[in-house]
């Protein structure tokens, strides 16, 4: 226990020293004040090195004492001597240094403790991932519900305000603009109502417009889709016809070119014979 506590102290002091060096190495412009500060900081760090080295030597002495006890059979059965700390390169604090190895110091604790399921059981690890994904799905569904409620509340408010404006307005120009806005809102309502049909909501399924208005808007949307599809098909047919005409023209040009080449060959052959 003394060796383990001592090693932890060495580890903490080495870690603090490394962080101080990293902070020191990050900075500065090389002005005189900074150079003085750097020199002072390096001196302070060097003053701490003998204390760390003394702790490391004490730890190594304890390791030697433990090894002697094991050799004299004065230690528990199966005891392992801890690894001594190499004094050379002590302050590098690399990831594979012996300072991180607690062999022989925590073996009893390691044997007593079982590997937790979240670390060693593949099924539990997979279940944790699935559970986390399920929780995110629930959170996303809750956000979708809030969004659906906000959409319906916004549309109801817009529809009520629009109907009130139509009821209070007598100017034909304003009425025309309001009617156009009403058509746009009806198209939005048809799209939104269809898209949000499978989302549960605490509000009644009432968006504002009557069923007659929604039915007419749906028919209008269907007609628009048919017109768009037919225009698209007609454009494709026109493009196909244009490509066919172009191919026919190219074939005609190629045929004329071949005829001319054959005629020239016959003329040349006639000239060579006569």
Token couple for 242: 């244009």
Task: Give 7's contacts (C-beta < 8 A, 6+ positions apart).
Answer: 59, 82, 85, 99, 102, 105
CA 54 to chain centre: 49
| 142-170: average pLDDT | 87
Place of tokens 């009806």: 186
CA–CA gap between residue 239 and residue 231 (Å, rounded): 12
Residue 102: name the closest of 187, 3, 198, 30 by CA: 3
pLDDT at 229: 62
Token couple for 110: 């390691």
Largest pairwise CA distance in the chain: 127
What is the value of pTM for the model shown?
Answer: 0.40
pLDDT in tens, 99-143: 777 776 765 555 545 667 877 788 888 999 999 999 999 999 989
Mean pLDDT taken over the chain: 76
Q: Which of 40-49, 105-114, 259-268 has the highest mean pLDDT?
A: 40-49
pLDDT in tens, 203-253: 777 777 877 877 777 777 666 666 666 666 666 666 666 676 677 667 677
CA–CA gap between residue 274 and residue 185 (Å, rounded): 88
pLDDT in tens, 58-94: 888 888 888 888 888 887 777 777 888 887 777 777 7
pLDDT at 133: 93
């Amino acid at each position: 226990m003394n060796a383990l506590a001592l090693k932890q102290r060495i580890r903490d002091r080495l870690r603090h020293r490394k962080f101080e060096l990293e902070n020191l190495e990050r900075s500065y412009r090389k002005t005189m004040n900074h150079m003085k500060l750097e020199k002072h900081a390096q001196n302070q760090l060097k003053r701490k090195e003998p204390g760390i080295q003394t702790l490391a030597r004490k730890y190594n002495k304890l390791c030697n004492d433990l090894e002697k006890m094991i050799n004299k059979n004065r230690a528990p059965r199966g005891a392992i001597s801890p690894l001594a700390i190499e004094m050379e390169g002590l302050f590098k604090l690399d990831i594979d240094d012996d300072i991180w190895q607690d062999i022989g110091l925590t073996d009893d604790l390691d044997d007593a403790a079982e590997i937790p399921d979240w670390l060693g059981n593949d099924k539990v690890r997979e279940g944790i991932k699935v559970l986390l994904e399920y929780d995110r799905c629930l959170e996303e569904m809750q956000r979708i519900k809030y969004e659906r409620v906000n959409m319906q509340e916004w549309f109801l408010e817009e529809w009520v305000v629009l109907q009130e404006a139509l009821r209070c307005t007598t100017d034909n120009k304003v009425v025309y603009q309001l009617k156009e806005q009403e058509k746009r809102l009806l198209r939005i309502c048809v799209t939104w109502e269809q898209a949000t049909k499978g989302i549960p909501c605490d509000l009644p399924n009432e968006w504002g417009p009557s069923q007659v208005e929604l039915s007419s808007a749906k028919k209008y949307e269907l007609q628009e889709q048919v017109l768009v599809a037919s225009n698209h098909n007609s454009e494709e047919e026109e493009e196909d016809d244009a490509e066919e005409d172009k191919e026919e023209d190219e074939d005609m040009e190629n045929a004329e070119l071949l005829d001319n080449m054959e005629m020239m060959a016959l003329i040349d052959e006639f000239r060579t014979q006569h």
